[in-house]
Structure 1
Amino acid sequence: MQLTSFTDYGLRALIYLASLPEGQMTSITEVTDTYGVSRNHMVKIINQLSRAGYIAAMRGKNGGIRLGRPAEEIVIGQVVRDMEPLQLVNCHSDFCHITSACRLKKALHDAVQSFLRELDNYTLADLVEDNHPLYKILLTDRVSLSS
């Protein structure tokens, strides 16, 4: 299974925000520059993460983005459910003439559920806490971005 780039960068944005000191604001531009993704794409991602409550976004002079809840409360499986369409194949009868007799759709459904259950074992905190190589990479990026 492959996640869409939308979900991939959504998870990366959350990792970036979770690596900041608690409550620290940053900008979408900083996240965009860190990952080399278009600002337009990241704005859409941040908007969806904000609507789901994972990110708090403030407008204005002192605005920016930060985590909307503690990293320990952000379950990776739920983030993927909220971001990803998770339909592996098109089983609509207009598209596939074997839909009424197909057993593949159940097998794929079960596989996706297993995948999500495994991701439910991880929180955002699990991905960033005491991850010194990650901090080093992101700190280097932040220093080079501000220079």
Structure 2
Amino acid sequence: MQLTSFTDFGLRALMYLAMLPPGELTSITVVTEKYGVSRNHMVKIIHRMSQAGYVEAVRGKNGGIRLGKPAASIVIGEVIRALEPLHLVNCGEDNCHITPACRLKDALANAMQAFLAEMDNHTLHDLVAGNNSLHRLLIPVRPA
């Protein structure tokens, strides 16, 4: 299984936001520069995560984005479900003549459920808390 770049960069954006001091705002531009992704792509990702409540978008002159809820309450499996299409194969008699006898779709569905169950065991906090190496990569020390 491979996550789409949409979900991949969504998770990365959440990790960046979780590394910031609580409540601190940043911009979509800063996040796109951190990961080298197109700004237009990140705008769509942030918009979807904002709709799902994972990101808060603050409008106005001093606006920006930040986590929409505490990192400890953001379950990675739930984020993946919110962002990822999760259709591994296109089954149906119009697409595949072996559909009535195929066991692959069931095996793939079981594998997907196992993957999501594992991801449900991890929160955003688990991924970033005490991760000093990640912090140095994403949030360089600001000169005094």
TM-score by length of 2: 0.96
Q: Residues 74-112 of structure 1, C-alpha deviation per residue, up to 9 Å, x if partnerless? A: 000010011101111110221111111111111000000
Q: Which amino acid aligns with 1:16?
A: Y
Work out the CA distance in 2 between the residues paired with 1:102 and 1:123. Answer: 35
Q: Are 1:47 and 2:47 counterparts?
A: yes
Cα distance, 1:51 vs structure 2: 0.3
Structure 1 segments unaligned to the other structure (5+ residues): none
Work out the CA distance in 2 between the residues paired with 1:42 and 1:120. Answer: 24
**Structure 1 segment 1-147 matched on structure 2, within 5 A:** 1-140=1-140
Structure 2 segments unaligned to the other structure (5+ residues): none
- After the TM superposition, which segments of 4 or more aligned residues of structure 1 sit over 6 Å from their partners? none
Q: How well do the aligned residues superpose, as a CA RMSD in angstroms?
A: 1.3
Bigger proportion of residues as helix? 1
> Number of paired residues?
143
Q: Sequence identity, in percent? A: 66
Q: Is the 8 A contact 2:19 2:139 kept in 1?
A: no
Work out the CA distance in 1 between the residues paired with 2:14 and 2:137. Answer: 15
TM-score by length of 1: 0.94
